[in-house]
């Protein structure tokens, strides 16, 4: 789900760049785009096609961080319950922590900068695996609580912000798709004008609220492809509006604390965690994004 949000953000930003370029009559759509430098000279910078807001490595950071945190919760819950699969759960946590470490050190566009925290998680996994008894594991859990809580908080806040960014970018894409469909449907001659170049230092993801054009319907004479594209983009926007993972991360925090204080109730936290996961139908349009 977290990966779907970031891929939707990248896709919508790239689509908006292409649509804006086509509408403006820019024949140089590709890996670079014109931009306005600080001294008002026209310069060049990588376009969203070559440099999306979130690189593949940074997306994998989010995915593997969530997997590592989940593996930690499973390991600690199994240990607290004295389950026979506790050893396997600890080994899974160690593998997940190692997998996170391999991407945490890759500093590219959208980096979380959690390499030191990821190293701490890997160290925790090794010590948890080698802990000789329950008392030692409880001691480790207490010492690890600040790190686990910090990483959950980082991911929770990051996903919440990027969901809003993805929503703004998708609505902007819808506006541009409607504009393009109207131009094609009317066969209007594009008025001569100079496109407003973005500042070279401006972010790729739009920070302003989208215009109200996205509420309009696609022209009835628009092609089936254009109408389908607008409908798919609107479905993604609706999914982004409806899906919130705040409850999921709050329960994840409670579950991590239950490893330190069993009185919180591992079983109750696990039930709440399952209930906090949004139904698949609500975010299916995000999973159907172009990439």
Q: What is the pLDDT of residue 86?
A: 80
The single-letter DSSP state of residue 199 is: B
* Encoded tokens for 44: 């060049």
d(CA 143, CA 190): 64
Share of the chain above pLDDT 70, in %: 77
pLDDT tens string 113-143: 999 999 999 999 999 888 888 788 878 888 8
Q: Is the pLDDT of residue 235 over 60?
A: yes
Q: What is the pLDDT of residue 187?
A: 66
d(CA 277, CA 263): 24
The pLDDT confidence band at residue 213, using thresholds 50, 70 and 90, is very low
Please name the helix (run of DSSP H) or strand (run of DSSP E) that holds residue 32, with its range, or none: strand 32-36
Stronger pLDDT, 260 or 142, i.e. the higher one: 142
**For the range 137-145, what are the long-range contacts, defined as Cβ-Cβ under 8 Å and sequence gap of 24 or more?**
137/76, 137/79, 138/260, 141/76, 141/259, 141/260, 142/260, 145/256, 145/257, 145/259, 145/260
* Encoded tokens for 217: 């319907």
Q: Which 3 state secondary structure label does DSSP give 108?
A: coil
Q: Is the pLDDT of residue 265 over 60?
A: no
Q: Is the pLDDT of residue 212 over 50?
A: no
Give the side-chain half-sphere CA count within 13 A for 157: 6
Task: Tell me the backbone φ, ψ of residue 46, rounded to 5 degrees.
Answer: -60, 140
Q: Rounded to a whole number, what is the distance in angstroms from the first to the last CA of the chain?
A: 14
Rg of the chain, C-alpha, whole Å? 23
Q: What is the pLDDT of residue 256?
A: 78
Q: 227: exposed, middle or buried (C-beta count within 10 Å: 0-12, 13-18, 19+)?
A: middle
d(CA 132, CA 114): 29
Angle subtended at Cα 176 by Cα 170 and Cα 178, rounded to the nearest 5 degrees: 105
Q: Is 187 left (phi over 0), alpha (psi -120 to 50) or beta?
A: left
Please name the helix (run of DSSP H) or strand (run of DSSP E) that holds residue 100, with its range, or none: helix 86-104
Q: What is the pLDDT of residue 152?
A: 95
Mean local confidence (pLDDT), 196-205:
77
The whole-chain average pLDDT of the chain stands at: 81
Among 49-53, 231-235, 267-271, the minimum mean pLDDT is found in: 267-271
């Amino acid at each position: 789900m977290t990966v779907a949000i970031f891929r939707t953000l990248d896709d919508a930003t790239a689509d908006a760049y292409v649509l804006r370029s086509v509408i403006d009559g820019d024949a140089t759509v590709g890996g670079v785009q014109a931009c306005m430098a600080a001294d008002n000279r026209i310069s060049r910078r990588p376009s969203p096609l070559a440099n999306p807001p979130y690189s593949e490595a940074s997306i994998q950071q989010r995915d593997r961080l969530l997997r590592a945190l989940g593996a930690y919760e499973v390991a600690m819950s199994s240990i607290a319950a004295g389950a026979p699969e506790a050893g396997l759960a600890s080994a899974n946590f160690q593998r997940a922590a190692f997998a996170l470490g391999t991407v945490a050190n890759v500093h590219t566009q959208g980096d979380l900068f959690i390499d030191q925290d990821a190293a701490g998680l890997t160290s925790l996994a090794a010590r948890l695996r080698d802990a000789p008894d329950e008392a030692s594991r409880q001691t480790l859990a207490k010492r690890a609580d600040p790190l686990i809580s910090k990483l959950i908080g980082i991911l929770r806040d990051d996903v919440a912000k990027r969901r809003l960014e993805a929503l703004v970018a998708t609505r902007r894409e819808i506006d541009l798709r409607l504009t393009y469909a109207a131009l094609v449907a009317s066969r209007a001659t594009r008025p001569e004008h100079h496109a407003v170049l973005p500042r070279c230092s401006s972010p790729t993801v739009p920070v302003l609220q989208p215009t109200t054009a996205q509420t309009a319907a696609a022209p009835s004479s628009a092609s089936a492809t254009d109408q389908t594209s607008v409908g798919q983009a609107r479905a993604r926007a609706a999914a982004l509006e409806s899906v919130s993972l705040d409850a999921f991360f709050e329960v994840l925090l409670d579950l991590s604390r239950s490893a330190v204080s069993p009185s919180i109730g591992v079983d109750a936290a696990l039930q709440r965690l399952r209930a906090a996961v949004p139904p698949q139908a609500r975010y299916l349009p995000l999973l159907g994004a172009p990439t």
